[in-house]
Amino acid sequence: MRSFVAAYVAVLALLAGLGVLGGVLLYAASGPDDAAEAAADGHAYDFLSWEVEHFPRKWIYKVRHLFDERSATEEEEVLQRYFDLVTEIGGASSDERVREAEVERTAIEAEVEDIVEGRLTAVLEGQSLAIEPPLFSDLGLVFPPVDFELDAPPRVLAVSPRDRIELGQSFLLEPGLEREEFEAIEDEAELDNGPATGISTVVVGTGGVATYPAVVSASATYQHMVDTAFHEWTHQYLAFYPLGRSYFAGSDLRTLNETAANLAGTALAGEYFKRYPRMEAEPTPAPTAAPTASPGAGFDFTAEMRALRRQVEDMLALGEVTKAEALMEQKRSELAGHGYFIRKLNQAYFAFHGSYADTPGSIDPIGPKMEALLKEAGSPGSFVKLVSGITSRAELDRVLAEAAE
């Protein structure tokens, strides 16, 4: 037993190293040294410093509180207070009150993480995603162990050629950038490439990133926190299987990975809230730009975005780059009138969001096929196991056909 525990601890240390390495690869493998990378470099996300700070702190907390016991009522009270503070911070009328609320929120973050990690682990065990090591099959360990940090997640600078929609490069940027700062990064990257053979860029926010521990937004709603934590855990799990190991092998593999994690995260979150209560009043973080209208009833955002994507693809195929960009700007204004606010709608926007083939920004058939596979699998856990060995569109088709038999 002692040798097994020692090996398990060693693997946890390895996971931390892989978390750093994966982050470095995500940054380095996303594009060549050029103007876009130079524009992002001054605000690059510092994986190593983040990992050094957070990995030991999390496990020190777990050791110190190894024998703590909380009732279900006490857990709900802690969670409710945390999300009350999230709401208060978003709507506070003074900087002083924001600081006070942030101090209180930070003081209970580790406890909230511990509570939610335990619940996520129970859900994964219920989905038969625990491993049973030789001689210790009764342990039922979830691997990788669920481990996330509530923090400000990085932003992403996404880059696409102007003459087609293709995620050629992406760079993780430090959190906390003001709008003027990340728009300056976009402008610098695009200006240095010139208008004739130029690029399209957009800086977008993220809800989390699959370092180890994973980063999950500290200002997320309860629903989004759980969804994101499962999403990032799925990436960590898949890293030990063919699908995850092939993440950087091309755009198809990135899309397969992100779509699988998106669908698994949402489905596992659904199982979570079947077992555990939601908040009495689900808090909503303060938006980056306050909308002046609510999304109109009867307006199909997904259909509109996919129709626009097809129009833009057709225009770009004909070389009508300027017309395509004008159409996207026109549609962006129309969407705002329906309560859907997109700061910048361009080729890079579609390229980035297209990697998540189950979202409105994608017309990739990987999305519907993955959704069909999830349905055929019968459970989120079975779905995760089925997709873990897929490394191509053809294999997705084969696995889906077999599951449907």
Q: Domain check: are 135 and 45 in the same one? A: yes
Q: Domain check: are 232 and 108 in the same one? A: yes
Its domain, for residue 308, covers 301-404
In a domain, 89, yes or no: yes
Eight-class DSSP state of 247: G
- Into how many domains does the chain fold? 2
Q: Domain check: are 70 and 188 in the same one? A: yes
In a domain, 343, yes or no: yes
Q: What is the pLDDT of residues 47-62, one digit of tens each?
A: 888 888 777 776 676 6
Q: Inform me whether the pLDDT recorded for 326 exceeds 50.
A: yes
| Residue-level pLDDT at 49 | 84
Sequence-ordered list of residues with C-beta below 8 angstroms from that of 184, at least 6 positions apart, any chain: none
CA distance 136 to 143: 14
Q: What is the pLDDT of residues 72-116, one digit of tens each?
A: 999 999 999 999 999 999 887 888 999 999 999 999 999 999 999
In a domain, 226, yes or no: yes
Average pLDDT value for residue range 134-156: 80
Closest CA to 257 of 232, 220, 223, 226: 232
Closest CA to 80 of 124, 115, 117: 115
CA distance 132 to 143: 10
**Which of the two residues, 30 and 238, has the higher pLDDT score?**
238
Pairing of strands 199-205, 169-173: unpaired
Q: Inform me whether the pLDDT recorded for 219 exceeds 60.
A: yes
- Lowest-pLDDT range of 140-154, 299-313, 320-334: 140-154
Q: Domain check: are 232 and 328 in the same one? A: no
| Residue-level pLDDT at 54 | 75
CA distance 186 to 347: 13
CA distance 394 to 252: 11
Sequence-ordered list of residues with C-beta below 8 angstroms from that of 23, at least 6 positions apart, any chain: 45, 47, 51, 172, 209, 211
CA distance between the termini of the chain: 43
Q: Domain check: are 243 and 322 in the same one? A: no
| Residue-level pLDDT at 60 | 74
In a domain, 287, yes or no: no
Q: Is 373 exposed, middle or buried (0-12, 13-18, 19+ CB in 10 A)?
A: buried
Q: Inform me whether the pLDDT recorded for 150 exceeds 60.
A: yes
Average pLDDT value for residue range 362-376: 97
Q: How many CA atoms lie within 13 A of 15 on its CB side?
A: 27
Q: Domain check: are 361 and 249 in the same one? A: no
Amino acid in position 219: S
In a domain, 255, yes or no: yes
- The last residue of one of the domains, among 223, 241, 275, is 275
Q: Inform me whether the pLDDT recorded for 178 exceeds 60.
A: yes
CA distance 381 to 234: 10
Sequence-ordered list of residues with C-beta below 8 angstroms from that of 51, at least 6 positions apart, any chain: 16, 19, 20, 23, 211, 212
Q: Domain check: are 83 and 217 in the same one? A: yes
Instruction: Compute CA distances 114 → 16, 111, 150, 208, 290, whole Å.
Output: 18, 5, 11, 17, 33
In a domain, 90, yes or no: yes
Q: Domain check: are 203 and 324 in the same one? A: no
Q: Domain check: are 251 and 358 in the same one? A: no
In a domain, 206, yes or no: yes
In a domain, 295, yes or no: no
Cα 379 to the center of its chain, rounded Å: 21
Q: Domain check: are 259 and 332 in the same one? A: no
Where in 67-118 does DSSP place strands (E)?
none
**Which of the two residues, 131 and 126, has the higher pLDDT score?**
126
Q: Which residue has the tokens 């349905």?
A: 375
Residue 66 — pLDDT band, cuts 50, 70, 90?
low
Q: What is the pLDDT of residues 276-319, one digit of tens each?
A: 999 865 554 444 333 334 555 678 999 999 999 999 999 999 99
Provide the 3-class DSSP secondary structure of residue 198: coil
Q: What is the pLDDT of residues 18-55, one digit of tens each?
A: 554 555 455 444 444 567 888 888 888 888 888 887 77
Q: Domain check: are 143 and 216 in the same one? A: yes
- The last residue of one of the domains, among 275, 290, 323, is 275
Q: Domain check: are 247 and 357 in the same one? A: no
- The last residue of one of the domains, among 258, 275, 292, is 275
| Residue-level pLDDT at 8 | 45
